[in-house]
Each structure stands twice: as C-alpha cells, then as structure tokens.
Structure 1
Amino acid sequence: MIQAMLLSVLVVSICTAIHYLVLKRVSDTIAQRKSAAHGQNLGLAVGAITIAHVIEAFIYTLFFLWAVQGLQIGALNGSVPAGKPTTMMDYFYFSLVNFTTLGRGDLTPVGHLRFITGIEAFHGFLMITASGSFVLQVMAGRAPLSDKG
C-alpha cells in the first residue's frame, strides 16, 4: 500500500506541475496578444488544455503499467478476451475514462491499483475543474495566471 501511496504522490505532483505550466504559458501568451480576438484566445486555451489533459492521462497510464508490470501491486481486469494480454491502449483508455471520472466499468483495477485509480479520478476532477475556471476567465477577456499584463 505504501508503494501505491508514493506512486500517487509522484504522479499527482508531475501532472499538477504540467497542468500549471500549460495554464501559465497559455495565460502569458494571451497577455502578450492583446490585439487577438477572444475566440483565438479561447481556441488556444481549449486546445492547450485538451492536450494537457491527454498527456496527464498518459502519464497515469505509464504509472499504471509500472504498478502492474514492474511493482506487481495490482492488475487491470476486464473486457479483454480470454488469453489476450491487456495492452497499453487498454491502460490508456482506462486512464482517460478514469481521469474524466466517467468510470465506464468495463475495466476494473485490482489490488493496490485501486488506490491509484481513486487518486486519478479525484485529481482528474480537480484538473478539469481548474481548467473550466481558467476557460471562463479567458472568455471574460482575462489572462488569469499572467503577471505580464
């Protein structure tokens, strides 16, 4: 269980740092482009945030693989046909579904992987909520995290 907790702290730290850096960079870019239309700024924000979320879910995928195949502290069971191994794409799909808190249930974590899964859903919810708040501020014509303008 300690390994799952430490992995969770590490992956949350990495993904939060990535998320902040993306939002900060977008905010600074918006502040520098004062003459850009709100639609362009909104497009930049939504595009960058979408890419950031996908990257963050992929990082969780790598941590799930590490937990299962490297540390052997859990497994991912589910809709994979009998005798066929769970692929990286299965893990990535599971991570995306979990990060967005959709939780389809066709793949099920077992063992201590359940703890990391719960942390990912909670963290994904926080990151998506922060992104929503950021987008609303961009729609209002602000550069929320910028100190450049």
Structure 2
Amino acid sequence: MIQAILLSILVVGICTTIHYFVLKWVSDTIAQRKSTAHGQNLGLAVGAITFAHVIEALIYTLFFLWAVQGLQIGALNASGPTDEPITMMDYFYFSLVNFTTLGRGDLTPLGHLRFLTGIEAFHGFLMITASGSFVLQVMGGGAPLSKKG
C-alpha cells in the first residue's frame, strides 16, 4: 500500500506541474498579444489544455504499467470474458476514461492499483475543473496566470 501511495504522490506532482506550466504558457502567450483576438486565444487555450490532459493521462498510463509490471502491486483485467491480453493501448484507454471520471467499467483494476485509479479520477476531476475555470477567464478576455492579464 505504501508503494501505491508514493506512486500517487509522485504522479500527482508531475501532472500538476505539467498542467500549471501549460496554463502559465497559454496565459503568458495571451498576455503578450496586443490584439483582442478572443477566438484565437480560446483556440490556443482549448488546444493546449486538451494536449496537457492527454499527456497527463499518458503519464498515469506509464505509472499503471509500472505498478502492474514492475512493482506487481495490482492488475488490470477485462471485465468480460476475453482471451486477448491487456495491451498498452488498453492501459491508455483506461487512463483516459478514468482521468475524465467517465468510468466505463469494461476494464477493472485489482489490488493496490485501485488506489492509484481512485487518485487519478480525483486528480483528473481537479485538473479538468481548473481547466474549465481557466477557459472561462480566457473567454472573458483575461490572461489568468499572467501578471499582465
């Protein structure tokens, strides 16, 4: 269990840092523009945030693989009958579904992987909520994390 907790702390720290720097870069880029191109600013914000979320889910994927294959503290199983092994793309799909809190249930975590899964859902919810707030501020013409905006 300690390994799962430490993994969770590490992955949350990494992904939160990435998220902050992406939002900060978008905010600074918007603040440097002298125009009122709100549509371009919104496109930049949404594109960068989407990219950040996908990268963050990929990082969780790598941590899931490490937890299962390296540390052997859990497993990821298909919920229905299948003869096909779980692939990297299955882990990535599971991470995306979990990060967005969709929770389809066609793949099931076992063991201490369940803890890391719960942390990802909670952290994903926080990051998506922060992103939504950021986008609303950009839509209002602001550069939320910039001293200029």
Query: How would you bin the TM-score normalised by the shorter chain?
Result: over 0.9
In 2 relative to 1, CA 115–137 (structure 1 residues): closer, same or farther, beyond 3 Å?
same
> CA offsets per residue over residues 10-52 of structure 1, 9 Å max, x none?
0000000000000000000000012141000000000000000
Verify: 1:45 aligned to 2:49, yes or no: no
Deviates most, 16-25 or 79-88: 79-88
- Whether the 8 Å contact between 1:137 and 1:144 is mirrored in structure 2 is yes
| Secondary structure at 2:51 match in 1 | helix
Superposed, 1:53-68 pairs within 5 Å as 53-68=53-68
| Secondary structure at 1:108 match in 2 | strand
Runs of 5+ unmatched residues, structure 1: none
> CA offsets per residue over residues 35-86 of structure 1, 9 Å max, x none?
1410000000000000000000000000000000000000001157644321
- The runs of at least 4 aligned residues of structure 1 exceeding 4 Å deviation read none
Partner of 1:14: 14
User: 1: CA distance between counterparts of 2:10 and 2:83?
Assistant: 33
- Whether the 8 Å contact between 2:4 and 2:112 is mirrored in structure 1 is yes
Query: What is the Cα-based RMSD across aligned positions, in Å?
Result: 1.2
User: 1: CA distance between counterparts of 2:118 and 2:33?
Assistant: 39
- Whether the 8 Å contact between 1:4 and 1:113 is mirrored in structure 2 is yes
> CA offsets per residue over residues 116-148 of structure 1, 9 Å max, x none?
000000000000000000000000000000023
Superposed, 1:60-139 pairs within 5 Å as 60-79=60-79, 82-139=82-139
| Secondary structure at 1:64 match in 2 | helix
| Secondary structure at 1:109 match in 2 | strand
- Whether the 8 Å contact between 2:76 and 2:108 is mirrored in structure 1 is yes
- Whether the 8 Å contact between 2:79 and 2:105 is mirrored in structure 1 is no
Deviates most, 29-38 or 110-119: 29-38
Deviates most, 83-92 or 61-70: 83-92
Partner of 2:35: 35
- Whether the 8 Å contact between 2:80 and 2:106 is mirrored in structure 1 is no
> CA offsets per residue over residues 77-111 of structure 1, 9 Å max, x none?
11576443210000000000000000000000000
- Whether the 8 Å contact between 1:80 and 1:86 is mirrored in structure 2 is no
Matched to 1:8, the amino acid is S
TM-score computed with the length of structure 2 as normaliser: 0.97
User: 2: CA distance between counterparts of 1:36 and 1:101?
Assistant: 35
